Amino acid sequence: MSFTFEGPVLEGMLVRLEPLDRGHAEGLALAAEEDRKSYGFTWVPVADEVEGYVSARLARAAAGTAVPYVQVERASGRVVGATGYWDPRLWPTGDSLCAVEVGGTWLAAASQGTGMNAEAKYLLFKHAFETWGVARLDLKTDARNSRSRAAIEGVGARFEGVLRNWSRSWVAGEDGRLRDSAVFSITAEEWPDRRVSLEERIAQVLGRRQPGSTTPSPV
C-alpha cells in the first residue's frame, strides 16, 4: 500500500490546525491585512491575492506534494495564519514517509509572540514523528531572516548550514532573484527531548494566561 500524504485536524490548547479549504479564504484575507511589517522575507498574500494563494496550495495538495493548514485561534475561532507540510520524501518501498519539511508558515501580527507558533510547530512535529514515523523533519528560511531563524531555533531545530541560491527570494524588489536558505532539522532521535522542551514552553504560556493559577494547564 502506498503512503497517502494528507493530515487530520490537529488540536492544541491555543491553536487548531485545520486542513486548508476554500472556505478559509475570507479569514486568511483578514489575517493577512493586519500590520505587515514582519513579512519582509516571507510572501504573505494581500487580500486580493488570497484566492490565488489558496488555489496554488490546494493544487499542491492534490498533487501529493503538500499538506497545507490554516491556523485558527481557539479562543476566538479566528483564522490567524497558515502553515503546512511540504516536499515529502518516501522510503524506497513507497509505503511510508522518511522525511518532510514544515514551512509556508505565517501568523497575523496580533498572534505573533503569543505561543501559537510554538504550539503549531509542536502539533506538526508530533504528528510527523509519532504518527507518520519520519526519521527527519526540515525547516528552511531566508538566510537573512534573523527573526525567523531565531524562532526556528526556539522550537528546537538544529541549524545545519546555508544552501546558496537555493530558492526564490520573496523580498520586495528582488523579483527573479534567488535567496540563500538557512536549513534546520530535527531527527527522530532528538524528538523526545524537543517534545519535552516544547511542552514545558507551552505549559508556561498557558499558566500565564490563567490568573492566580500555580499549575500550568495540560498541553
* pLDDT tens-digit map of 173-212: 888 899 999 999 999 999 999 999 999 999 999 987 765 4
- Check whether 218 has a pLDDT greater than 80: no
DSSP H helices in 43-162:
50-62, 116-130, 146-154
Please write the tens of the pLDDT for every residue from 53-73: 999 999 999 999 999 999 999
Q: Is residue 139 part of a domain?
A: yes
Domain boundaries, position 16? 10-208
**Count of the separate structural domains present in the chain:** 1
What is the per-residue pLDDT for 211?
A: 52
CATH number for the domain spanning 23: value is 3.40.630.30
Query: How far is CA 130 from each of CA 108, 123, 133, 189, rounded to the nearest angstrom?
Result: 29, 10, 5, 12
What is the per-residue pLDDT for 219?
A: 37
Cβ atoms within 10 Å of 15's Cβ, excluding its own: 29
Please give the single-letter amino acid code of residue 2.
S
Q: Is residue 201 part of a domain?
A: yes
Q: What is the pTM of this model?
A: 0.92
